[in-house]
Amino acid sequence: MLELYAGVAVNGLLIGVIYALVATGLNVIFGVMRVVNFAHGEMVVVGMYLGYSLWQFTGLSPLASLPITVALTFAFGYGFQLAIGNDFVSRPQHVQFVLYIGLGLAITGLHAMIFGPDPRAIQGEAGFDVYRIGFLRIDAVRLHAAAVALGVIAALSAWLRWSMTGKALHAASENLVGGQAIGLRIDRIFALTMGIGVACAGTAGALLAQLYDTQPYLASEFTMIAFIIVIIGGLASLPGALLGGLMIGLAEAIAAMVLEPSAKSLLSYALLILVLLLKPEGLMGRIAGRRA
Amino acid sequence: MSSVLPRDARRPASGGGPAVSRGFRATSMRQWGAAVAFVLVMLLVPLVASTFHLSVLTLIFLFAFVGVAWNLMMGFAGQLSLGHALYFGAGAYLVAILAERYGITPWLGLPLSFALGAALGCIVGALGFRFAVRGVYFALLTIAFAEFARIVFEHWGFVGRTGGFFLKALGPDNVPLLSLRGDSLFFYYALLMSLVGAWALAALLVRSPIGYRWRALRDDEDAARALGVRAFRMKLLVAAVSGGLTAIAGGWFGLIGGSLFPDSVFGMRISIEMILAPVIGGMGTLFGPILGAFLVIPLNEVSRDLAQSLGINGLNLLLYGVLLMAVIIVAPGGCWPWLARRLRLSDAGNR
Amino acid sequence: MTILEVRNLTKRFAGLVAVDDVSFDVEKGSITALIGPNGAGKTTAFHLIAGALTPSEGSIRFEGREIVGRTPEELCSMGIARTFQIVRPLLGMTVLENVMVGALNRAPKLAEARAVAADLLHRIGLGAKADAPASTLTLPDRKLLETAKALATRPRLLMLDEVMAGLRPSEADRVTAVLHSFRDDGVTILLIEHVMRVVMAIAQKVVVLHHGKALAQGAPAAIAADPRVIESYLGRKAERR
């Protein structure tokens, strides 16, 4: 029995790390630009389809083709922000919201048109490998994916904290006008921000493509998971996103086991409601975040 | 903009009072006139329309109805709710369950669903206000409640879980005026009446002191409060009216379709579909949601047919998405303001 | 008689005391000015009195009743109105509608509120622009609108935050005339001002804030001659060797 629970918990935590990567992307976008990117889940699915398609055409696993996925999704985010997104940063949130909902719908529609509505699965050779730690049996693909996700989060955190560009991003998020006053190219910074955010989502998607069946309509679920984690973990807090991701991954696993698989989000939504009401700055948030 | 200023007010300094109100009332009369003309035309349409057209129009009326309700909260009071499906689903299931399980006529069921929707709206609104949850955080809160309800209903045996809840088929002895279920002609007139009622209520509220206070809250909550606008009361009121009306729409949805599934009435999809018409038509205007429904629903039908005949799944989503983006980029105020200026139906403040 | 009693008003933000143990009275029917260098705590004091912020310590009594902890809208119905230093017009509404929102407090019927609002706009010089969307107004006009909005609530205590800044002398004179006529109707005015000409001309009492503390208070002439006040405005340069 214990093995069962432990196994479920570990699986949940591992998925949670990948969720944390998704949330990190949203954290960067929402945290720096205060943009309500409701198409974030769609970006994840873009990554899933990229991982799947590259596997289909080249036989490369999504891990191997990751650099391509990262580059493409980054470019998309960067380009979109320069072309359209930057005009919307200063608009009211409900206007931004509609833009991104539209974007999300269009992307989902394209996915359905190109790939069809049926789920697609990647069959990998490493598909059934398992690590044994004590009585735990951990799925190798899942562990590798989580490790990559963790690595990306750590690298991104380090870059944001120590590089010049990273600091510029941080500065822009804290004080936009001040940042402009000292000469930061805000439009480029925002484009970079969006690129990074989308790339995080896309990377997570590619990783998830090995674990879940890819289909167009998963997107809204991922969007909500991302927002839940960002709120629970705390805006502008990358450790918070990791903590939040682990919590949500675990919560889903527990709910799926104790209640029913289809009820897995129940606990997550309950947590979201509680946090929104009681501690809206999130578990690790320092600032309250801007309230409209 | 200049067509809206009444001639008198352009004269400087003297007599600001009577001239201003005359112009204001004149525009308002034109708007009421347009509304009456619209209703008259719609009353006569069944004489020439096919059953199919009637059912599309009924769907348009339904989404216009819901759009008017949602628009009150967002367009006029500035409260972004993305979880309106909560009220829609609650109303749908309440009316259907009362009719099917307890034999209670929808004549009672629909007002009860208004009460339920209003109560839920008050709860959500009060929680949001009490805990100072504003803007996108409030929007997320509304989504959380709707999704929570969806999942609960998906696992609730009493309502049929994901298998759905069904109203029994209409027999030959069905009396539409009693069961509030009938053929497409019946639903056409029923929804038209409902839309007119909802629109009239919205218009009266918006043009009343309450409407002024809502718009002040929307434009700047802190400034409005400094001017004496009771934020809590006003937010609760709009949430109650909006939620109640949306619940009625849900009730009709169940009566028309005869079947309810948690995902179709509580899901994110319907929450999004509810906002498309008012956004594209024009938030914060009285006619916007109606124009929007007339644009969006036929577009959906056409693109779905196109998708089916071409065998391209997902085309309607793509079109929807592109349309939304195009409208919000080019005309964030929606299509109505443009049309209204041509028809001389707009008033400056009521954008 | 005293319409507003501020006692030991203190507001602390993390690591900063914005308002430090400030006490002063405002006489009914008078014009009192709150002056001081930038960052002295004047606007914070306003926020505290108007209910937009809660004090860390202290009490504020309006017409004998304690008002700390009340919401801005409650205070408005009790008779306190305020303008914002960075003007906040209601941009989705016309100029007239902006003023009507305030007027509805005392004139609950729309027609009456409209008349009150139109009359006010006329007196303050915005009559011709009544039907214009507030978003089309220039900044000086927005300042006039800000004042008109507050006046429409028919307050007994009107709090004006730098309402003259950015106005041309002719506009400033018009506002001064309107304020005088309201004062004659019995409205008490508490204003934050930088424009000394205005302060000296119309205030009966001046309260000087510096680094959050009440430095001096009294009649304008006395304040103008007070060495501590002069020093606070000019800094200690005069003393440096």
How much is the CA Rg of chain A, to the nearest whole Å? Answer: 18
For residue C200, the Cα-to-chain-centroid distance in whole angstroms is: 16
User: Which position has the higher pLDDT, A284 or A271?
Assistant: A271
Q: Cβ–Cβ of B20/C131 closer than 8 Å?
A: yes
Q: Cβ–Cβ of B21/C88 closer than 8 Å?
A: no
Q: Do chains B and A touch (3 or more CB pairs under 8 A)?
A: yes
Q: Give A277's contacts in chain B (Cβ within 8 Å).
A: 127, 131, 133, 141
How much is the CA Rg of chain C, to the nearest whole Å? Answer: 18
pLDDT at B11: 34
User: Using CB atoms and an 8 Å cut-off, which of residues 47-106 of chain A contact chain B?
Assistant: 84, 87, 91, 93-95, 97-99, 101-106
Here the CATH number for the domain that contains residue C188 is 3.40.50.300
Does residue C129 sit within a domain? no
Counting Cβ atoms within 10 Å, is residue A204 exposed (0-12), middle (13-18) or buried (19+)?
A: buried
Strand boundaries in chain C, DSSP class E: 2-13, 16-27, 31-35, 57-62, 65-66, 80-82, 157-161, 188-192, 205-210, 213-218
Q: Across chain B, which distance is largest between two alpha carbons, in Å? A: 71
Q: What are the structure tokens assigned to C91, written together?
A: 């941009």
How are strands ordered across the β-sheet holding C16-27? C16-27, C2-13, C57-62, C65-66
CB under 8 Å to C126, separation ≥6 — which residues? C95, C141, C144, C145, C148
* Mutation target among B317, B320, B330 for the A interface, most CBs of A within 10 A: B317
Q: Give B130's contacts in chain C (Cβ within 8 Å).
A: none
User: Does the pLDDT value for residue A176 go beyond 70?
Assistant: no
For residue B251, the Cα-to-chain-centroid distance in whole angstroms is: 14
Q: Tell me the whole-structure pTM to 2 decimals.
A: 0.87
Residue-range domains of chain A with CATH: 2-278 (1.10.3470)
Q: Do chains A and C touch (3 or more CB pairs under 8 A)?
A: no
Q: Cβ–Cβ of B313/A117 closer than 8 Å?
A: yes
Q: Cβ–Cβ of B325/A110 closer than 8 Å?
A: no
Q: Cβ–Cβ of C131/B220 closer than 8 Å?
A: no
For B16, which of C104, C127, C133 is closest by C-beta distance? C127
**Alpha carbons B229 and C166: distance in angstroms, whole number:** 28
Q: What percent of chain A has pLDDT over 90?
A: 43
User: Which position has the higher pLDDT, B301 or C24?
Assistant: C24
**Alpha carbons C211 and C234: distance in angstroms, whole number:** 14
pLDDT at B309: 86
Q: Cβ–Cβ of B332/A95 closer than 8 Å?
A: yes
Q: What is the DSSP letter of C25?
A: E
A132-161 pLDDT tens trace:
777 777 888 889 999 999 999 999 988 888
Q: What are the structure tokens assigned to B276, written together?
A: 């498309």
Q: How many CB pairs under 8 A join A and B?
A: 138
Q: Cβ distance B345 to B27 under 8 Å? A: yes
pLDDT at C241: 40
Q: What is the DSSP letter of B258?
A: S
Estimate the crossing angle of helix A219-233 against helix B268-281, to 10 degrees. 90
Closest CA in chain B for residue C99:
B227
Confidence of residue A62 (pLDDT cuts 50, 70, 90): confident
**Alpha carbons A230 and A208: distance in angstroms, whole number:** 19
C189: containing domain:
2-89+140-239
**Alpha carbons A161 and A167: distance in angstroms, whole number:** 6
Q: What is the dihedral of CA A269, A270, A271, A277, to 10 degrees?
A: 110
pLDDT at A137: 79
User: Does the pLDDT value for residue C64 go beyond 60?
Assistant: yes
End-to-end CA, chain B: 11
- How many degrees, rounded to 5, is the angle at CA B209 between CA B206 and CA B210? 60
* Mutation target among B129, B206, B225, B227 for the C interface, most CBs of C within 10 A: B227
**Alpha carbons C132 and C114: distance in angstroms, whole number:** 15
**Alpha carbons B321 and A101: distance in angstroms, whole number:** 7
Q: How many CB pairs under 8 A join B and C?
A: 130
Closest CA in chain B for residue A97:
B136
Q: What is the DSSP letter of B13?
A: S
Total of domains in chain C: 1
DSSP code string of C95-120: HHHHHHHHHTTT--SHHHHHHHHHHH
Instruction: Compute CA distances C214 → B316, C172, C200, C207, C217, whole Å.
Output: 67, 27, 18, 7, 8
Q: What is the dihedral of CA B45, B51, B53, B55, to 10 degrees?
A: 100
User: Which position has the higher pLDDT, B146 or A290?
Assistant: B146
Answer whether CATH 1.10.760 is correct for domain B24-167+176-343: no
pLDDT at A110: 94
For residue C212, the Cα-to-chain-centroid distance in whole angstroms is: 17
Strand partners, A71: none
User: Does the pLDDT value for residue A106 go beyond 90?
Assistant: yes
**Alpha carbons B322 and B314: distance in angstroms, whole number:** 13
CB under 8 Å to C122, separation ≥6 — which residues? B13, B16, B17
Q: How many CB atoms lie within 10 A of CB B155?
A: 15
Q: How many CB atoms lie within 10 A of CB A260?
A: 13
pLDDT at B323: 85
- How many degrees, rounded to 5, is the angle at CA A136 between CA A133 and CA A139? 90
Q: What are the structure tokens assigned to C165, written together?
A: 């800044």
A203-255 pLDDT tens trace:
999 999 999 999 999 898 899 999 999 988 887 778 889 999 999 999 998 88
Size of chain B, expressed as the number of residues it contains: 351
Residues of B at the C interface (Cβ-Cβ below 8 Å)? Answer: 1, 4-6, 9-14, 16-17, 20-21, 23-24, 207-209, 212-213, 215-216, 218-220, 222-231, 284, 348-349, 351
Q: What are the structure tokens assigned to C58, written together?
A: 């202290």
**Alpha carbons C202 and C176: distance in angstroms, whole number:** 8
Q: How many CB atoms lie within 10 A of CB A163?
A: 11
Minimal C-alpha gap between B218 and chain A (Å): 11
User: Where does B103-230 have alpha helices with state H?
Assistant: 106-130, 135-154, 176-179, 184-207, 209-219, 221-226
Does residue C179 sit within a domain? yes
Tokens 């997902």 correspond to what residue? B314
Q: Which helix (H) or strand (E) holds A47?
A: helix A40-58
Q: Give C131's contacts in chain B (Cβ within 8 Å).
A: 4-6, 9, 20, 23-24, 348
Q: Give B212's contacts in chain C (Cβ within 8 Å).
A: 93, 97, 100-101, 104, 110
* CB-based contact, A110 to chain B, within 8 Å: yes
**Alpha carbons C39 and C52: distance in angstroms, whole number:** 18
* CB-based contact, A1 to chain B, within 8 Å: no
* CB-based contact, A118 to chain B, within 8 Å: no
Instruction: Compute CA distances A89 → A84, A142, A227, B284, C89, whole Å.
Output: 10, 36, 18, 21, 22
- Three-state DSSP class for residue C188: strand
Estimate the crossing angle of helix A219-233 against helix A2-33, to 10 degrees. 80
Q: What are the structure tokens assigned to B263, written together?
A: 């995902």
Q: What are the structure tokens assigned to A258, written together?
A: 């104790």
User: Where does A175-218 have alpha helices with state H?
Assistant: 176-181, 186-208
Q: What percent of chain A has pLDDT over 70?
A: 91
Closest CA in chain B for residue A216:
B314
Looking at residue B143, its amino acid is: I
* CB-based contact, C16 to chain B, within 8 Å: no
**Alpha carbons B121 and B126: distance in angstroms, whole number:** 8
* CB-based contact, C102 to chain B, within 8 Å: yes
Confidence of residue A257 (pLDDT cuts 50, 70, 90): confident
Q: Cβ–Cβ of C73/B230 closer than 8 Å?
A: yes
**Alpha carbons B134 and C186: distance in angstroms, whole number:** 39
Q: What is the dihedral of CA B9, B15, B19, B21, to 10 degrees?
A: 110
**Alpha carbons C151 and B130: distance in angstroms, whole number:** 30
Counting Cβ atoms within 10 Å, is residue A132 exposed (0-12), middle (13-18) or buried (19+)?
A: exposed
Minimal C-alpha gap between B97 and chain A (Å): 23
Q: What is the DSSP letter of A82?
A: I
Of C88, C90, C68, C93, whose CA–CA distance to C78 is shortest? C68
DSSP code string of B149-178: HHHHHHT-GGGTGGG-EEPPPP-TT--HHH
Confidence of residue C238 (pLDDT cuts 50, 70, 90): very low
Q: Name the phi and psi angles at A254, rounded to 5.
A: -65, -50
Q: Cβ–Cβ of C92/B349 closer than 8 Å?
A: yes
Tokens 């606990």 correspond to what residue? A267
Instruction: Compute CA distances A206 → A24, A201, C156, whole Å.
Output: 15, 9, 66
Minimal C-alpha gap between C118 and chain B (Å): 5
Looking at residue B158, its amino acid is: F
Confidence of residue A180 (pLDDT cuts 50, 70, 90): low
Please give the average pLDDT of every successive group of 10 residues along chain B, which has 351 residues: 34 38 61 88 91 93 96 88 94 95 93 97 89 82 93 90 88 83 91 95 93 94 94 94 97 94 91 88 90 90 84 84 89 85 64 35
pLDDT at A74: 96
